[in-house]
Structure formats: C-alpha cells, structure tokens
Amino acid sequence: GDGLAEVAGIENFINSKVDAIIDGAIDTAALAEVIGKAEAAGIPFMVESGFWRPGVTCMVGQDSFRMGQVQGTYIAERLNGKGNVVILTYHPARNIAMREEVCKAILAQYPEIKIVANYTIEISRVVDEARKTMETLLVRYPKPGDISAVWCGWDDIAMGAAAAIDAAGRSSEMFCIGNDAGQEAMDKIRGTSAFDVTVYVDYATIGKIMFQQLDKVFATGKADANNIYIDLPLVTRDNVPPPGQWPPPVSSYILYRGN
C-alpha cells in the first residue's frame, strides 16, 4: 500500500534501463507521471489487472466491472433477493472499489436486500483486521438473519471474516464471497467454512498472455489491444477442484482492439 515506494521502485527500473516493466493491480492514474517517464525512455509498461491509460503498453487481467457483476448477481440469487449484506473492502485500491460499486449497484435493485455495514480493512494486516472487524459485527448482529452474506474485497479478507464466523459457530447463517481462488481459499471452500465461494482469477493465464504480448511489443512495437481481459468463473463447493489442483484455464477476450 505504499505508493511512494512503488514510484521509487519504478523510477529505479527506468534508471537501470530495464527492457520492460510489469506492475500489478495498480491505480495507473496515480502513476501517470512515472508511467510517462517509462514511455519517454522507450520502456514498455505492462499492467496486470489494473487500468489502461496513455503510456501503458497493455493491460492484461480481470475486468473489475465484470467481477462486480458476477459477485452481485450471485449474492442476489443465493439470497433469493432478500437478506442483509456486509461489505469488507479496501477503497484505496481502485479496482477493488470499482467492483464493489458494481456489486452494490446490482444489490440495490433488490428492495429486500440491505447493506448493513461497509468497512475498509487496513491492508498491512488484512486477515487479522478482517477477523476483528467481523467479530465486532457478529456482536452487533447476534441473531440468525441479521447478516446473510459478506462481500470481501479479495480472498484474504474473506479468510479473516470467515475465521470469526466459523469460530462463533455461525457459518450456517451466512456466507463470504471473495476473489482470486488461491489454494488456501479453495481449502476453505472444500470444507464447512462460511467462506464457500470465490471468483477464480487465473494468474497463470494472465502471465502467459502478458509475455505473449510482450513478445509482440518487442517484435512490432505494439500489443494486440490496450486491454485484454480473462473470464472470471465462480468457484463453489459444486466445482472446486481436488486439493493441490487449479480450476481449468480460462479464456481471454478483447472488447475493443483499437487502431
């Protein structure tokens, strides 16, 4: 979460005359100046699951709008359009804030779904902070039905929130939804935890596409598009793979190829 350290690191790469720079899940608007320096130095600047802006060679990864839509629709359907939802987020990360807003916009279409709490979690100790926050909320909302679902900015928050719910013996009352689908998260989904659904972000496919595009940039000076997105399937108890395995590789798509 240290933006100054990030800028300093990028400037160090530029001064070292690296062949390319890849940065992950960033707010490119906040890095406009240093991205411009990379462009002026002729260094391709690739972004993973962030946002394209002038100076960025190519963004490869998740579409935050699509993820928010997947999560919001899932919550609404699972609750049959009725229930109380908690939001545990990290607003400074633009991609998280955007999928949160899309999710909330979808839930707002259901008059009997209420968002009863919305908290930003301290990122430097995210799992512990999410656990403590959820413990407080469980005291504030002690009865079955007080909380039906917990939307989490990513899986680490869901792990912390579910730890509190599971320890309180209330995993049958509510569920947590996250995103990423790492092995630890999928272990939770395989069991009886309140954390039982996430969105799969296929980082292996993102990495493969990233370097394929970098090859094209080195050869031709241009990527296939400004933005290349990957599909975002849900992982639930119905389709979680066996321990140690990953869901099937996802496909990618381009919404607008550009000139």
Reading the block at residue 57, the tokens are: 């060679």
pLDDT digits (tens, 9 = 90+) for 8-42: 999 999 999 999 999 987 778 788 999 999 999 99
Residue 44's closest CA among 208, 204, 213, 207?
213
Q: Is 253 helix (H, G, I), strand (E, B) or coil?
A: strand
Sheet with 175-180, side-by-side order of all strands: 112-120, 82-89, 149-152, 175-180, 195-200, 234-236
Reading the block at residue 175, the tokens are: 């569920």
Q: How far apart are CA 144 and CA 146, in angstroms?
A: 6
What phi, psi does 152 have (nearest 5°)?
-120, 140
pLDDT score at 49 = 84
In this structure, which amino acid lies at residue 28?
T
pLDDT score at 1 = 64
pLDDT digits (tens, 9 = 90+) for 57-98: 999 999 999 999 999 999 999 999 999 999 999 988 888 999
The enclosing H or E element of 36 equals helix 32-40
Contact 201, 49 (CB under 8 A): yes
Q: pTM value?
A: 0.93
In this structure, which amino acid lies at residue 256?
Y
